[in-house]
Amino acid sequence: MFLPLTGVTVVSLEQAIAAPYATRQLADLGARVIKIERPGAGDFARAYDETVEGLSSHFVWANRGKESLTLDVKDERAPEILDRLLARADVFVQNLAPGAADRLGLGAAELRARFPRLIVCGISGYGTAGPYRDKKAYDLLVQCEAGLLSVTGTADEPAKAGIPIADIAAAMYAFTGLLTALYERQLTGEGSSFEVSMLDALGEWMGFPYYFATYGGTPPPRTGARHAAIAPYGPYRVGGGGQVFVGVQNDREWAALCERVLGQPELIEDPDFRTNSLRVAANKRLTALIEAAFADRTADEIVASLDAVGIANARMRTVAEFADHPQLAARDRLRTVDSPAGPLRALLPPVTVAGREPAMGPIPAVGEHTAAILQELGFTEPKAAHE
């Protein structure tokens, strides 16, 4: 089946999550992605854990559909190998340490001068200038610098996001930037270069707290699983020791909750609850009233009542329960992906196009495609060329 990026070749000098996750999405859309790894151990994310039949969960997630080329980039033959690779490529992505690409002759300006149609993307922690340029940037640390931990957690203790959200944010902007650059090249015939920093990417996602704190005078309080600026919004205890999450977005929904679920229409005009801001300020009292009304009903009964009225709700699932979610099963959202450890279950990419299957190719072993790629480039001694 033809996919949108069929015929596009991506060369990526990548490691960890941000760049690999960006290029994996290109591979899902049909691009050929050649992943350059260190000889021996390869991408260090391969060793984060061994939970997926002996493979790293991070690596499995971010690297399907790629070809693995092991190459010592400091070897005397590496420049020639890279030159031949990039001469055939449409896209080059790197997330090396700051300045490393320039030292290797792989800086954006130099590459664009040599390969005018090449699109060059550099991903960094804090950008290529400024006092934090050379500072190491791991996901948790960028979450700290972007202020995320100051608004996540409870009043007593901050908490990081449970997923590598700074890496993911950078990957998504790199991905959309690359798609934009490919479209621009289609119009102009010229390549381009751009950079994405994890701090900038996560900073964009911190928009609501940024405006709240800058113009409100105080930062959004840490409210655990509740919302700092909307109420009622969060977990509520129900009968039998259960819990239901409720999300009310506007005054119309608030009225429906009071009249048709809580059975207390008088709360609509309660002076403490007339607007969302007032409800947030009186959230402690509001929570007590809601939980008192829910106390003699089960979670199933509460969910049924909320659904009947059209009020958003959910129950907190474990990750294992999400993997077996009835909605995923009903919509056929799981596929099988090959790997060095055998077949693995994988979720389909979120963008669904009727009649089209994403590529979702195998997860490569370290250096699995080295010999074939080097022979394709004209090297007759592939082993010697990358050691």
The answer to whether 88 and 76 have CB atoms below 8 angstroms apart is no
From the list 159, 145, 157, 153, the residue with the least C-alpha distance to 201 is: 145
Residue 142 backbone phi and psi in degrees, to 5: -70, -35
Three-state secondary structure call for residue 125: coil
CA nearest neighbour of 59 among 81, 91, 37? 37
Sign of dihedral through CA atoms 151, 157, 161, 167? Answer: positive
Helices 165-188 and 198-205, interaxial angle, to 10°?
100
95: Cβ–Cβ under 8 A, 6 or more apart, which residues? 13, 14, 15, 16, 18, 19, 122, 123, 124
Cβ-in-10-Å burial (0-12, 13-18, 19+) of 322 comes to exposed
Q: What CA–CA distance (Å, rounded) separates 293 from 29?
A: 49
Q: Which helix (H) or strand (E) holds 381?
A: none
Q: Say which amino acid occupies 165.
A: I
Rounded Cα gap, residues 93 and 178, in angstroms: 9
CA gap 116, 192 in Å, rounded: 8
Which residue(s) pair with 193 in the sheet? 120
Separation between Cα atoms, residue 203 and residue 126, nearest integer Å: 11
- Lookup: tokens for 7: 């015929």
Give the largest CA-CA distance in the chain. 83
Six-digit token string for 246: 């409720």
CA nearest 333: which of 311, 310, 351? Answer: 351
**One of 58, 227, 325, 369 is an active-site residue; which one?**
227
**Catalytic annotation on 369?**
no
Which residues have a catalytic role annotated?
A: 227
